């Protein structure tokens, strides 16, 4: 009996080990299958996410900024001759046309400058006639060459004085033809260099305004610009000619349009910002320089 039992025990053990090994292999196979399925699902999921990401609409690039005036549409009225304000003809916010009188100034030097011009003009007329007479006499050998040359020098010298005096009055916006016709003016008229709205009026009656000091500013709102703040990360999205849609703080439920016309070539080293300039396509009476705006790139326009 012992001889029979030993082989059976061994056989049973071998069968048990075989079953265990099979079970282990099946478990490993199942684990591999589960891992493969998980990996496939993961890849599927990544591909789906990638596809979804590709079709997602990214938020538009936006910028903050303010309304500004183009340099050619804004004028600071400064004086080339100092004096006291005699009269003020406009008020801040008034619309004026180019050449319209803003104020008048009193200064005795202005009267002397006009006198200098009128004297030089009269002397030039006299000396020119004398020069022409001497020129004729010399051609007829009825006068000396020396006297002719002296007459010529006096005439040309006075003529240059007249031209200098005329140029000084032109800087003061004085019409010398009108001065010759109507005589000396007591007060210097300060005129608007461009048409637009009066702002930043810095004077009142009796105020002394020195040479080079400002009386007021005039802005013409027929052309408006935006000064926007962008950053280095935004440069890849910005191009000259790009369209913008913007809103203005204080003007509700209205969107306006602009076009980028210039991108500054320097970066602010403090905050890494870049100035972007855009021309506004519409006009609106509510626009004011300094108003806050929010703009977004509009690639669909």
What's the pLDDT tens digit per position in 116-136?
999 999 999 999 998 888 888
125-131 contacts at long range (C-beta below 8 A, 24 or more positions apart): 127/151, 127/154, 127/155, 127/158, 127/159, 128/155, 128/159, 130/154, 130/155, 131/155
pLDDT of residue 9: 47
pLDDT of residue 187: 94
pLDDT of residue 235: 87
Q: Higher-confidence residue: 127 or 298?
A: 127
What's phi and psi for 263, nearest 5 deg? -125, 120
pLDDT tens digits, one per residue of 172-203: 989 999 999 999 999 999 999 999 999 999 88
Buried-state track 41-52, b at ≥16 Cβ within 10 A, e below 16: eeeeeeeeeeee
Lowest mean pLDDT among 28-32, 111-115, 121-125: 28-32
Cβ-contact 73, 220 below 8 angstroms: yes
Q: Higher-confidence residue: 294 or 142?
A: 294
Q: Taking residues 31-40, report their average pLDDT.
A: 41
pLDDT tens digits, one per residue of 70-97: 988 999 999 889 999 999 999 999 999 9
Summary mean pLDDT of the chain: 81
pLDDT of residue 104: 94
Residue (of 284, 262, 230, 256) closest to 70 by Cα position: 262
Provide DSSP, 195-242.
SEEEE-----TT-EE-TT-EEEEEE-TTS-EEEEEEEGGGGGG--TT-
Question: Residue 278 and residue 68: Cα distance in Å, rounded?
Answer: 10
pLDDT tens digits, one per residue of 142-158: 667 788 888 899 999 99
pLDDT of residue 66: 95
């Amino acid at each position: 009996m012992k001889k029979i039992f030993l082989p059976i025990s061994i056989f049973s053990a071998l069968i048990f080990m075989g079953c265990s090994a099979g079970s282990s292999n099946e478990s490993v196979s199942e684990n591999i299958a589960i891992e493969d399925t998980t990996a496939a699902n993961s890849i599927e999921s990544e591909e789906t996410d990638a596809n979804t990401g590709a079709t997602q609409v990214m938020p538009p690039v936006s910028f903050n900024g303010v309304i500004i005036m183009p340099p050619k549409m804004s004028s600071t009225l400064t004086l080339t001759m100092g004096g006291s304000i005699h009269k003020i003809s406009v008020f801040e916010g008034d619309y004026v046309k180019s050449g319209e009188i803003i104020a008048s100034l009193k200064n005795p030097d202005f009267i002397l400058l006009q006198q200098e011009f009128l004297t030089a003009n009269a002397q030039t007329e006299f000396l020119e006639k004398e020069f022409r007479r001497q020129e004729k006499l010399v051609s007829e050998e009825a006068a000396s060459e020396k006297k002719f040359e002296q007459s010529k020098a006096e005439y040309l010298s006075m003529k240059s004085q007249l031209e200098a005096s005329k140029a000084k009055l032109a800087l003061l916006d004085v019409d010398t033809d009108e001065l010759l016709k109507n005589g000396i003016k007591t007060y210097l008229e300060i005129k608007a260099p461009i048409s637009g709205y009066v702002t930043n009026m810095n004077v009142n009656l009796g105020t002394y305004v020195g040479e080079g000091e400002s009386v007021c500013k005039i802005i013409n709102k027929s052309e408006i610009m935006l000064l926007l703040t962008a950053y280095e990360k935004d440069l890849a999205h910005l191009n000259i000619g790009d369209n913008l849609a913007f809103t203005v703080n204080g003007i509700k439920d209205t969107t306006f349009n602009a076009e980028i016309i210039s991108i500054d070539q320097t970066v602010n080293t403090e905050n890494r910002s870049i100035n972007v300039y855009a021309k506004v396509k519409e006009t609106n009476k509510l626009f004011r320089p300094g108003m806050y705006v929010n703009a977004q790139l509009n690639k669909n326009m």
